[in-house]
């Protein structure tokens, strides 16, 4: 897709971080934007910033884990702008620990937002976008965690692996029906956002006890450090726009980590976890980003 001016982009999790940066990048191209989020204050600030820049904005509360709220978002987007050309299923949260110790509530929360949120987005928007009969683009935010299996991130990894394969299937299926809608799956490593404070959006509020138990606790400090030294959201948004322009499926924002993806693929084919013993993956990811 090369034409952006006057077209419409929808971004979930659009009130902060990567989502807000994408909304601003689309606005800079002259697009109208819809931003959806669960944080009213951040949403108000984002709406004010975008509006001040002269962009037509629809800012609305929508919890992407709830199908009726995503359906309402689609209805509101079409009621306001009559079309959607770029759909970014981006809202996401993170939690970590041993997979057998994570609470059912946390499994449901993380999968609900990160994976079901994308599923709801596709189910509500794709039929409308197909009916519109114009070119379009879907960007699903996964992660490097969707292409690797670092320990202590199982909740997050499972959700993001799901988003990667869902995006690949969507790509194939849209091609099968000859649609003009293209797909990208965004797979960043560390980006300087508030993802480490996802607990602020945990249903029922943040937990009383420390969020991340040992051994994750020690690592979480490193994770925060790496996030703060990571790419800017603006850099990622630039890469997303370029991928939409060029019709690229995979957006790997940290090419220095591509070796980790290749090593996993080689391990799968060989049948043995060798190059990627679990601790070295974490170490490698932590040191290379």
Ligand X SMILES: NC(=O)c1ccc[n+]([C@@H]2O[C@H](COP(=O)([O-])OP(=O)(O)OC[C@H]3O[C@@H](n4cnc5c(N)ncnc54)[C@H](O)[C@@H]3O)[C@@H](O)[C@H]2O)c1
Instruction: Kindly list the catalytic residues.
Output: 156
Work out how close the CB of 192 gets to ligand X at its nearest, in angstroms, rounded to a whole number.
Answer: 7
CA distance 97 to 3: 44
What distance in Å separates the CA atoms of residue 218 and residue 221, rounded to the nearest whole number?
Answer: 6
Smallest gap from Cβ 148 to ligand X, in A, equals: 11
CB nearer to ligand X: pick between 123 and 266: 123
Nearer to ligand X, 8 or 20 (CB): 20
Reference 63, options 134, 122, 113, 126; nearest CA is: 113
User: Cα–chain-centroid distance for residue 184?
Assistant: 11
| Residue 232: CB minimum distance to ligand X, A | 11
CB-wise, 33 or 227, nearer to ligand X?
227
Q: Residues 132-162, buried b or exposed e (16+ Cβ, 10 A)?
A: beebbbbbbbbbbbbbbbbbbbbbbbbbbbb
SS3 107: helix
Instruction: Say which residue the tokens 């991340």 belong to.
Output: 212
What minimum distance in Å lies between the beta carbon of 85 and ligand X? Answer: 21
Look up tokens 């990622």; give the residue.
Answer: 236
Nearer to ligand X, 92 or 136 (CB): 92
Interface residues with ligand X (CB under 6 A)? 12-13, 15-19, 37-39, 42, 63-65, 90-93, 113, 141, 143, 188, 190-191, 193-195, 198, 201, 227, 230
């Amino acid at each position: 897709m090369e034409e952006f001016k006057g077209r419409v982009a929808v971004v979930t999790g659009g009130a902060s971080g990567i989502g807000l940066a994408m909304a601003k990048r689309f606005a800079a191209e002259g697009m109208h934007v819809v931003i959806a989020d669960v944080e009213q204050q951040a949403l108000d600030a984002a709406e004010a910033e975008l509006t001040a820049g002269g962009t037509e904005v629809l800012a609305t509360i929508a919890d992407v884990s709830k199908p009726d709220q995503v359906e309402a978002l689609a209805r509101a987007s079409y009621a306001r702008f009559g079309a959607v050309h770029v759909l970014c299923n981006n809202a996401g949260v993170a939690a970590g620990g041993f997979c057998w110790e994570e609470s059912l509530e946390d499994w449901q929360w993380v999968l609900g937002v990160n994976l079901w949120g994308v599923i709801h987005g596709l189910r509500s928007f794709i039929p409308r976008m197909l009916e519109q009969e114009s070119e379009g683009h879907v960007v699903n935010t996964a992660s490097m965690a969707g292409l690797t299996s670092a320990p202590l991130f199982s909740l997050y990894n499972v959700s993001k692996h799901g988003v990667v394969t869902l995006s690949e299937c969507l790509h194939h299926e849209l091609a099968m029906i000859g649609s003009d809608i293209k797909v990208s799956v965004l797979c960043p490593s560390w980006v300087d956002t508030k993802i480490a404070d996802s607990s602020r959006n945990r249903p029922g509020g943040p937990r009383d006890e420390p969020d991340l138990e040992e051994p994750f606790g020690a690592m979480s400090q490193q994770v925060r450090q790496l996030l703060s030294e990571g790419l800017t959201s603006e850099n990622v948004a630039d890469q997303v726009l370029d991928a939409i322009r060029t019709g690229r499926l995979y957006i790997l924002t940290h090419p220095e980590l591509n070796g980790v993806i290749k090593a996993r693929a080689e391990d799968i084919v060989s049948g043995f976890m060798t190059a990627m013993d679990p601790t070295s993956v974490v170490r490698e990811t932590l040191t290379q980003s």
